[in-house]
A and B are shown apart, each in its own frame.
Chain A
Amino acid sequence: MAIIDIVDLSYTYPHTNQPALRTINLSIEEGSFVALIGANGAGKSTLCYTITGFVPHFFQGEFHGTVTIAGKDLKSSELKDMVTTASLVFQKPQNQISGTKFTVFDEVAFGLENLGVPREEMIKRIERALELTGIAHLAERSPYALSGGQQQRLAFASMLAMDTPILVLDEPTSQLDPIGSREVFEVVERLTDEGKTVIMAEHKLEWIAAFADRVVVLDEGSILLDGTPDEVLTSSLLVENDIGSTRYTSVARAAQEQALAPQNANLPISLEQAERFFKQA
C-alpha cells in the first residue's frame, strides 16, 4: 500500500516566478527506500519539504495538486499533525539544532519532550539513536561544539529518536567521509527492514546503487526518470543532464564507446556487476 501519494503536484515559492516543482506524480510504498537525485536546484529539497508538510505549511506560495501522506491529506492537515508522521533531516545540519539545549543528549531529547514521550522510554530511544549514528561518545558535548559531520549525525539521531513512520533525509552524508556515509546507509537499511519508509536526497550514486530500492530523478522540478537503481543509474539521460553516473557505469560506458565491450550488454552499477560486464568483454 502506498504510504505517500502525490498527484499532479506543482509548487512555486513565494516571490518567485519559476515553479520549483512541476506536475509531480509519485507514489511510494511503505517500507521502501527511495533515493532522490538531481542537479543543484532541481527541486530535491522542495520535494523533501513537501513530504514533511513544510511546503505548503511553513513555506507558503502557490500549491496545486493532491498530496496524501499516511492517509492524511497534506493541504487540509496542519504542520503539527505532520511532524509525528514524517520527519525531515535538513540539508544544513546546523539548522536542525534547536538552540535550547546544552548537550547532545539533551538535544536529541528536545523533540521527545515536546511529544510527551515518557522519560524511561525517552532515554532508551536517545541511547539507541546515538548508538546507531555513532555519536554516543559525544553525548555530553555542546551541539555547537561539534564538527559539520558530527552535527549531521546529531541531526539524524534527533529525527531517528522521534520514531516517525516516514523519514526524509536531505543530503544527510554531505559532510561525512566514506565510512560515515556507509554507516548512514546501513542505518537506513535497518529502518526499512523495521518497516519504515525512507526518502533520501543524495549525490553519492555508488551508495544509492548498493542500498536503494528505487531512484527518482528530478530535473528542473519535474520527474525525469523513476525506476530501480539498475534501470535509472545506467540511463544516458543522467549524463546528459549533468547528474553523472557511478564510476562503474562510466568506465563501462567508456569501454563501450571505444568498442572494447559489447554494445548490447547491460551497464553495471556495482563492483560485482562491473566484474561480470568486463568478463564478457
Chain B
Amino acid sequence: MNETIGLYIDRDSPLHRLNPLTKVVFTICIVILGFISPWAWITFAIPVLILIPMSFWGQIGVPYLRALLKIVVPLALILLVMQSLFLPGETTWFRFWFLSVEYESVERSLTLVSRLVSMTASFILFLFSTHPSRLMTDLTRRGVSPIVTYLFISTIQLIPLMRTKANTIMDAQRARGLETEGNIVTRSKALMPMLAPLVFGSLVDVEERAIAIEARAFRVPGKRTHLTIVPDSQAQHLFRIALIVLTVVLIGVRLWLSLTS
C-alpha cells in the first residue's frame, strides 16, 4: 500500500517550513482577494503571478502546474463556455448557429470562473505543501478541539483505506465470477454488490475505531502535550496580522466603491 497522505507532497522547502497557520491565513486572504477584485483579470493574475512562483519556491512547481492543467484549466474552460452560452444578457456579442453569446454573460462568467480558479488554485497549493498532521498539531496547540483534529485526519486516512478495502472486495467478487471489467454498464453493475460490504464494513469500523482511541486515553481530560513541535516566528505572526489588516482594508475599499458608484 502506498503511503499517500492526502494531497501532501513531501519536500524540505521554505514554503513547507512555514507555520501552517500562516498558510491558512494566506490562503483565505488570497481567496477573499479574488472575490472582491473588481476585474476578472486581477483574479486570474493571482495564480499566475503569486501562486505558481510560490509553488516553485516550495519545490513543487511541476506537480502543481500539472494539477492546474489537468484539473483547474479544463474545469474552468467548460464552465466558461457553458456560462457564456446560457447566462442571459442584453448586448449580443456574436451569433453562432442558433446560439447567441451576449457581452454581459461573458463578463459574468469570466468573473465567476476567475474566482473559482483562484480559489481552487490556492487550496491545491495549500494542500500540496502542508502536512495534515503538522496543521492539526498546530491548530490543537492554539486551542482547536482534538475531536476536530481527529475527524479531519481520520477522514484523510480513510480514503486510501477505503480504496484498499474496495479492491479487496472487488477481487473477492471477481473470484466468484462477477464481471468487474469492461464497459460502463458492466462496471456499474459490479459496483452494487461491492457497495454493501464496503458501507457495512465501514460502520463496524466506526465502533472499533472508537474503542481504539478510548484505549489510548483520548477522552482523559487535562492538558495535552505534543510530540511534534511546529515552529512559528514573530515575523510570521506580524505577516499574518498584516495580511488580515490588508484584506480588511481592501474589503472596506471595495464596499465603499460599490456604495458610491
- Tell me, yes or no, whether A binds B: yes
Question: Nearest CB to that of B140 among chain A residues?
Answer: A113
Instruction: From A6-14, A31-39, A82-90, A259-267, give the one contacting chain B.
Output: A82-90
What's the dominant secondary structure at chain A's contact region? helix
* Cα–Cα distance between A99 and B208 once the two chains are bound (Å): 11
Binds A, one of B26-34, B181-189, B211-219: B211-219
**What residues of A have a CB within 8 angstroms of the CB of B218 in the complex?**
98, 114
Is B1 on the interface with A (CB-CB < 8 A)? yes
A119 contacts which of B5, B146, B219, B226 (Cβ < 8 Å)?
Answer: B226
By a CB distance below 8 angstroms, the chain B residues around A126 are 227
Residue in B160, B226, B229 whose beta carbon sits within 8 Å of that of A113 in the complex: B226
| Interface Cβ pair total, 8 Å cutoff | 112
> Which stretch (B60-68, B84-92, B147-155, B190-198) binds chain A?
B147-155
CA distance A117 to B224 in the complex (A): 8
CB distance from A128 to the nearest CB of B (A): 15
Q: B217 near A80 (CB under 8 angstroms)?
A: yes
Q: Which A39-97 residues have a C-beta within 8 angstroms of B?
A: 52, 54, 58, 79-80, 83-84, 87-88, 90, 92, 95-97
Q: Is A202 an interface residue (CB 8 A)?
A: no
In the docked arrangement, what's the CA distance between A123 and B229, Å?
A: 13
Minimum CB distance partner of A78 in chain B: B219
Interface size in chain B (residues, C-beta < 8 A): 37
Please name all residues of chain B whose beta carbon is closer than 8 Å to the beta carbon of A80 when the two chains form the complex. Answer: 217, 219-221
Q: Choose, from A102-110, A193-201, A207-215, A225-233, the stretch at the interface.
A: A102-110
CA distance A90 to B212 in the complex (A): 9
Does A100 contact B149, Cβ atoms closer than 8 Å? yes
Selected from A99, A109, A112, the residue in CB contact (under 8 A) with B212 is A99
A88 x B153 contact (CB < 8 A):
no
A residues less than 8 Å from B253 (CB atoms): none
What residues of B have a CB within 8 angstroms of the CB of A141 in the complex?
A: 3
Separation of A114 and B161 alpha carbons in the complex (Å): 25
With most chain B CB atoms within 10 A of its CB, the pick from A80, A84, A92, A141 is A80
Collect the chain B residues with CB atoms within 8 Å of residue A58's CB.
210-211, 214
* Residues of chain A lying within 8 A (CB to CB) of residue B216: 83, 98, 110-111, 114, 158, 162
Q: A95-B212, A102-B133, A123-B227 are in contact. Are A145 and B220 (CB under 8 A)?
A: no
A-B residue pairs in contact (CB < 8 Å), sample of 12: A54-B211, A90-B211, A92-B208, A100-B213, A102-B131, A105-B227, A115-B222, A116-B222, A116-B224, A119-B229, A122-B227, A142-B1
9 more A-B residue pairs beyond the given contacts A83-B217, A114-B224, with a C-beta to C-beta distance below 8 A: A100-B154, A102-B157, A112-B225, A113-B226, A115-B217, A116-B222, A119-B226, A144-B3, A144-B157
Binding site for B on A (CB under 8 A): 52, 54, 58, 79-80, 83-84, 87-88, 90, 92, 95-102, 105-106, 109-119, 122-123, 126, 141-142, 144-145, 158-159, 162
